[in-house]
Structure 1
Amino acid sequence: MSKALAGKVAAITGGASGIGLASLEAMLAAGARVVLIDRDEAAVMAIAEQQGDAVIPLVIDLLDPQRCAQMVPQILEKAGQLDIFHANAGMYVGGDLVDAEPDAIDRMLNLNINVVMKNVRDVLPHMIARGTGDIIVTSSLAAHFPTPWEPVYASSKWAIDCFVQTTRRQVFKHGIRMGAVSPGPVITALLADWPAEKLQEAKESGSLIEASEVADVILFMLTRPRGVTIRDVVMLPTNFDL
């Protein structure tokens, strides 16, 4: 594979599993060093040991406001620069709204919206000072149409998709590209809350995406000429509408 990201430093939140891990592997293969940010210390350290010096481990619970505020200073202390920020950490609450626990709603909205906004805000001064940078946010197909089985989750992604598109229009003048990748159902731990029969039906019908396929799209977004911004990629399984 071409080392299109050679010399670049990326940071990925929620990078120890699912789309985040697939993104990490794709960026490593393209020559980047990657700061792996996740709250799962055992998983972070295992991946760092497996992948070698190109992975810089950073264990942070982003729902801890003080730890979250220290993320960017720690990235810069460990890596010296930041060229790519992939805001990927998120959680899922599905099912009928009446059955959702208030604490679960608060945690999900905090992580899926507030943390992303704060993380992006914190990386911008460094990227603005350097006059370059790429910010990718993991959104969802749920951001693009109302999905009746996940009103809380879908609402968080509608909000963050608006954030990406409005902030992009503020920062492009600084040489910073910003975009969202919006996949349909991906085979990750986030689907653990799906009803068993729905998940089995989706698997059997070919209505799920592999995390590696999302990572391929992210790498495509990052490797366009600097004069081209991929603003938003919506990707879904071909059989999604069956």
Structure 2
Amino acid sequence: MTQTPQPFAGQVAAVTGAASGIGRASAEALLAGGARVVLVDRNAQALTALCEQLGEAAMPLALDLLDAAQCRSLLPRVLELAGRLDIFHANAGLYLGGDLVDADTDAIDRMLNLNVNVVMKNVRDVLPHMIERGCGDIIVTSSLAAHYPTPWEPVYASSKWAIDCFVQTTRRQVFKHGIRVGAISPGPVVTALIADWPAEKLAEARATGSLIEPTEVAEVITFMLTRPRGMTIRDVVMLPTNFDL
């Protein structure tokens, strides 16, 4: 009887924004690959229910990453739960679409803080642990919007352009320590984030099959993480064939 490959056996991963969408799919793929996974999300109720469903290798960690003290506690609490960290998927994020003149300034601050500042702080905090161990993988959820000036989401697109630059520059700093840093940049994914899309844009995308499933993103993340250590997949742009910019 052929056994299912376990490429992440013996490893510990942490995924932010893990209670739903891409984060959940990523966590499930890592678990299927044999990792123990710390699922990080602010929705404690959804997180607990999900981890009960996923089994004992799934460990819930309820954190509001927009709270500075809770954000700082991410790595120490991961180490308390699992003892080490091999793979970090910085996935938590917010979406803000529409015309800039209509955007609420508090919403702009909140989105930029989570999409950019929190990602930078989380990566900064996990790096010393990985540097000390001489190995590690960091994946950041970016977006197709990081590669094209999408006119219906200037604030969101700007946050992803910033984070794509962060991934590329940080990778060049830390590869000498055996750490790989890469970004996954999907087109529109079937998650709660696209609920703010213009109604006609969302209807068109659904009608033409121009949306990606979270599981499809997770499959690409698995591909990135399972390359030989001498290869870094720095940035993957994936989009539905029918999606027309």
Percent of residue pairs identical: 76
- 1:205-237 CA-to-partner distances (Å, cap 9, x unmatched) read 011101100000000000001001000000000
Matched residue type, 1:52: G
Provide the residue aligned with 2:207 in structure 1: 204
Q: What secondary structure does 2:236 align onto? A: strand
Shift in Å, 1:84: 0.1
Unaligned runs of 5+ residues in structure 2 are: none
User: Matches of 1:183 and 1:99 in 2, distance apart?
Assistant: 26
Matched residue type, 2:203: Q
User: Given the alignment of the two structures, is residue 39 of structure 1 paired with residue 47 of structure 2, yes or no?
Assistant: no
Task: Give the paired residue count.
Answer: 242
Q: What secondary structure does 2:188 align onto? A: coil
Provide the residue aligned with 1:161 in structure 2: 164
Unaligned runs of 5+ residues in structure 1 are: none
Provide the residue aligned with 1:87 in structure 2: 90
User: Given the alignment of the two structures, is residue 5 of structure 1 paired with residue 14 of structure 2, yes or no?
Assistant: no
Provide the residue aligned with 1:181 in structure 2: 184
Q: What secondary structure does 1:165 align onto? A: helix
Q: What secondary structure does 1:190 align onto? A: helix
Shift in Å, 1:145: 1.1
Shift in Å, 1:51: 1.0
| 1:149 maps to which of 138, 152, 161 | 152
Provide the residue aligned with 2:28 in structure 1: 25
Matched residue type, 2:231: V
Q: What secondary structure does 2:60 align onto? A: strand
| 1:56 maps to which of 41, 54, 59 | 59
Shift in Å, 1:197: 2.1
User: Matches of 2:128 and 2:100 in 1, distance apart?
Assistant: 38
User: Matches of 1:179 and 1:12 in 2, distance apart?
Assistant: 14
TM-score between both structures, scaled by the size of structure 2: 0.98
Matched residue type, 2:197: W
User: Matches of 1:141 and 1:194 in 2, distance apart?
Assistant: 15
Provide the residue aligned with 2:99 in structure 1: 96
Provide the residue aligned with 2:126 in structure 1: 123
TM-score between both structures, scaled by the size of structure 1: 0.99
